[in-house]
Amino acid sequence: MATLIESLTALAVFAIGASASATWLARSTADTSQASARVRALGIASDMEARLRAHRAGVHAGHYRHAIPARIDCRKACSPAQLAQHDLAAFHAALASAWGRGANGDVACDQGACLIRITWPGGALHWGVAP
């Protein structure tokens, strides 16, 4: 009889441990997924920040404030407004590549300071830039 009680006790301890391990694994997987999404968002925001810093004249002229993303080939020559449209199109393309239609983002510039906002399913990032 003692062997049966010992076996059931061992089985109960094992079940509790297995349940705790499964819970830990599920939580770890969710945290890893959230961290991965945040790293993608940071990469996209950093790329947009570099574009804003490279085009300071366009930021100060207000071209990013009202620019509508457009696919423009700026390899030869573009006006500052066209370059802002090109940069925003690249920004939105990167968001779509990372999360599909579930992502949204915008760039708001005022008096030379910009705020890059990115939202995706399950998270958001607000990134301030002073080019």
What is each CA distance from 120 to 3, 5, 28, 117, in whole angstroms?
A: 55, 52, 20, 10
Instruction: Look at residue 83 and tell me if it is in a domain.
Output: yes
Q: Which domain holds residue 122?
A: 37-129
Instruction: Look at residue 26 and tell me if it is in a domain.
Output: no
More confident: 117 or 67: 117
What pLDDT does 131 receive?
64
Number of independent structural domains in the chain: 1
Q: Are 119 and 104 in contact (CB under 8 A)?
A: yes
Instruction: Look at residue 62 and tell me if it is in a domain.
Output: yes
Confidence of residue 38 (pLDDT cuts 50, 70, 90): very high
| Mean pLDDT over each residue of the chain, to the nearest integer | 88
Q: What percent of the chain has pLDDT over 70?
A: 98
Q: Does residue 116 surpass a pLDDT of 90?
A: yes
Q: Tell me the Ramachandran region of residue 124: left when phi exceeds 0, alpha when psi lies from -120 to 50, beta otherwise.
A: beta
What pLDDT does 102 receive?
87
What pLDDT does 1 receive?
61
65-107 pLDDT per residue, tens:
777 877 788 877 888 888 988 999 999 999 999 998 889 999 9
Instruction: Look at residue 22 and tell me if it is in a domain.
Output: no
pTM for the predicted model, two decimal places: 0.77
